[in-house]
A and B are shown apart, each in its own frame.
Chain A
Amino acid sequence: MTEDQVQQIVIDIINEIAPDEDTTGLKPEVNLRDQMDLDSMDFLDIVMELRKQHGIEVPEEDYPELASLKSCSDYLTPKFNAK
């Protein structure tokens, strides 16, 4: 799986948990929180969906790795490819 595909998976999850947010044109390097109205409860849902839909576990201490799309793909791509 490529980093782009992993970023798309994260975007799909955001579209699902926060349908009122606009996810078009998100900048990969910029924190998701600075581009959308997401709070810690929303990040919990991203983690929840990664587990439910893809069997990917993100331990609580690693939540900061999900700050931006780029950091998401850096952190998650090896996990997807190790499955």
Chain B
Amino acid sequence: MPSSLDQQHYETVIIGAGMAGLAAGIRLALAGKNVIILERHNASGGLNSFYSQAGRKFDVGLHAMTNYVPKGTKGTPLTKLLRQLRIPYDALDLSPQNCSRIHFPDCQLGFNNEFAFFEAEVARAFPKQIDGFLALAEEVRTLDAFNLGSIPSSARTAVQRHISDSLLEDMIFCPVMYYGSAQEHDMDYGQFAIMFRSLFFEGFARPLEGVRVIVKLLQDKYRSLGGIRKMKCGIQKIHTSRGRATTIELDNGASISADKIISTAGAVETARLCTDQLVDAESDNIGQLSFTETITVLDKQPTEFGWDDTIIFFNTAERFRYTRVKDDLVDPSSGVICFPNNYQYGEDRQLKEGFLRVTAMANHDKWCALNEDDYLAQKSHWYDELQKVTLGLLPKPKNNLNFEDHRLAKDMFTPRTVRKYTGHLNGAIYGAPNKIKDGRTHLENLYLAGTDQGFLGIVGAMLSGISMANLHVLQGD
């Protein structure tokens, strides 16, 4: 019972049992710290979680794990992460993608986990741009993402130094932004470099059983090291005194104290928990980008329809707009299509049912303002709209198969769902536009990890938890 926590003291309290919080917890537990993770919900994983409906398990968040490298590859984020968490590579059960695609009007670029293939695709579709593209790739490969020196910090400006065709520029930005940019139109070039590497130099993979494999692995590791975790344990306030966090007041009224606090609740969300801050603190750093996702379950494999790609990043407009949706509930003009079946799981290993997931940008305020009846009606309407766009982009089904005839179930999550389960203001999946790279806050013993610290993707989230635990708790301890 949470109330049993009243008056307890911990060396470190971690707020949030998402990927970053669990990874930070493992590091501290490995060092023998007295650590507790507090999570408002009854499931771990945060943004990357899963739920059951009518006996089916659905993933939220994870289309693909980026940063994939084959076993034994040295010095990459995935390898470092596994070593720091002391988790064996095989435990992740990763299977690489088949092939993915960037789909724009009149132009398509394929890519897979071999960069040479993407390079050849760019050379085929943009013969005049290939030298610039290779120069960009080389710069991104060797860039120190946290110290750009004289290179422009605007990724658009930095990329335009190498690429003059705006179509190719947009096609590169589309997947990079969809998989992690909290900023509209543009992003930090360091963050761009991290994403570019994780998508194109490294690649996509997925465990057959989805994101729950990774969540469970982290949970079990943390527990085996003696780490404590309290679910359904939300935080009301962080009490402060003279620039330090003193006690944490829980939703149930209990009060606990800690030498140090690592919060994965988000930069603005965390500031607003502190008693020395106004309730509308840092309002200029609230994320504006939220998403909706439809999930369709089919009684056939996607390949039986002739749909062999793993992920398709699409844009149907003249220019790719990565920006908040203003006038409507959803902007179906760009998005991401994912077939979780289309990974190389190996012989006789496959998801029993076919899955199709479609993500697009959506307006948080409009979704949250709907009454329950309208909410359900709009979900149904936008499900249909997004399927229409998707079917328009995919190859015509083989053997005259009718998509509707083979649909077993459908579901959809909206910015309202994201807000509810992540606590992110505006349901902003990628959090605040300005990242806090050193994790420091206005309080000397309160630190940030996770989305708003600025590492991206689920490997990034875990690395964020690791590096903030190392930097602020373990180093020089």
Chain A hits for B470, CB < 8 A: 41, 44
B476 to chain A, nearest CB (A): 4
- Taken residue by residue from 22 to 43, chain B's Cβ proximity to chain A (1 for < 8 Å, 0 otherwise) reads as 0000000011100000000000
Q: Judge whether A41 and B84 touch: CB under 8 Å.
A: yes
- Residue of A37, A39, A42, A52 near B32 (CB, 8 A) is A52
Chain A hits for B30, CB < 8 A: 45, 48
- Taken residue by residue from 55 to 69, chain A's Cβ proximity to chain B (1 for < 8 Å, 0 otherwise) reads as 000011000000000
- Taken residue by residue from 64 to 92, chain B's Cβ proximity to chain A (1 for < 8 Å, 0 otherwise) reads as 00000000101100011001101011000
A18 at the binding interface (Cβ < 8 Å) = yes
Chain A hits for B89, CB < 8 A: 20
Interface size, A (range): 10 to 19
A26 at the binding interface (Cβ < 8 Å) = no
- Residue of A45, A52, A59, A60 near B84 (CB, 8 A) is A45
Given the complex of chains A and B, what is the CA–CA distance between A16 and B30 in angstroms?
Answer: 12
A50 to chain B, nearest CB (A): 12
Chain A hits for B31, CB < 8 A: 48, 52
Task: Give B275-315 interface residues, CB cut-off 8 Å to A.
Answer: none
Chain A hits for B74, CB < 8 A: 20, 37
Q: Judge whether A37 and B86 touch: CB under 8 Å.
A: no
B475 at the binding interface (Cβ < 8 Å) = yes
- Residue of B86, B467, B475 near A17 (CB, 8 A) is B86
Chain A hits for B80, CB < 8 A: 39, 41
A18 to chain B, nearest CB (A): 6
Chain B hits for A42, CB < 8 A: 83
Given the complex of chains A and B, what is the CA–CA distance between A64 and B348 in angstroms?
Answer: 51
CB-based nearest A residue for B75: A37
Task: Give A1-49 interface residues, CB cut-off 8 Å to B.
Answer: 17-20, 37, 39, 41-42, 44-45, 48
- Taken residue by residue from 407 to 427, chain B's Cβ proximity to chain A (1 for < 8 Å, 0 otherwise) reads as 000000000000000000000
Chain A hits for B475, CB < 8 A: 44, 60
B426 to chain A, nearest CB (A): 34
A40 to chain B, nearest CB (A): 9
B391 at the binding interface (Cβ < 8 Å) = no
B474 at the binding interface (Cβ < 8 Å) = yes
CB-based nearest A residue for B71: A20
Given the complex of chains A and B, what is the CA–CA distance between A19 and B115 in angstroms?
Answer: 28
B466 at the binding interface (Cβ < 8 Å) = yes
- Given contacts A48-B31, A52-B32, A17 and B83 within 8 Å (CB-CB): yes
Q: Judge whether A60 and B86 touch: CB under 8 Å.
A: no
Given the complex of chains A and B, what is the CA–CA distance between A6 and B42 in angstroms?
Answer: 46
Q: Judge whether A18 and B476 touch: CB under 8 Å.
A: no
- Given contacts A37-B75, A41-B470, A59-B476, A18 and B32 within 8 Å (CB-CB): no
- Taken residue by residue from 433 to 477, chain B's Cβ proximity to chain A (1 for < 8 Å, 0 otherwise) reads as 000000000000000000000000000000000110010001110
A14 to chain B, nearest CB (A): 11
CB-based nearest A residue for B84: A41
Chain A hits for B467, CB < 8 A: 41
- Residue of A18, A48, A52, A59 near B83 (CB, 8 A) is A18
| B72, B74, B83: most-surrounded residue (chain A CB, <10 A) | B83
Q: Judge whether B474 and A44 touch: CB under 8 Å.
A: yes
Given the complex of chains A and B, what is the CA–CA distance between A20 and B31 in angstroms?
Answer: 21
Given the complex of chains A and B, what is the CA–CA distance between A18 and B337 in angstroms?
Answer: 38
| B86, B88, B89: most-surrounded residue (chain A CB, <10 A) | B86
Chain B hits for A41, CB < 8 A: 80, 83-84, 466-467, 470
B35 to chain A, nearest CB (A): 14
A47 to chain B, nearest CB (A): 9
Chain B hits for A19, CB < 8 A: 88
Given the complex of chains A and B, what is the CA–CA distance between A52 and B470 in angstroms?
Answer: 16
Chain B hits for A45, CB < 8 A: 30, 84
CB-based nearest B residue for A16: B86
Given the complex of chains A and B, what is the CA–CA distance between A48 and B83 in angstroms?
Answer: 14
Chain A hits for B79, CB < 8 A: 20
Chain A to chain B: the 9 pairs with minimum beta-carbon distance, closest first = A60-B476, A37-B74, A48-B31, A52-B32, A37-B75, A41-B84, A44-B470, A18-B83, A44-B474
Q: A17-B86, A37-B75, A45-B84 are in contact. List 5 more A-B contacts (CB 8 A).
A: A18-B83, A20-B89, A41-B80, A48-B31, A60-B475
A-B contact pairs, 7 of them (CB 8 A): A19-B88, A20-B74, A20-B79, A41-B83, A44-B474, A48-B30, A52-B32
Identify the A interface with B (CB < 8 A): 17-20, 37, 39, 41-42, 44-45, 48, 52, 59-60
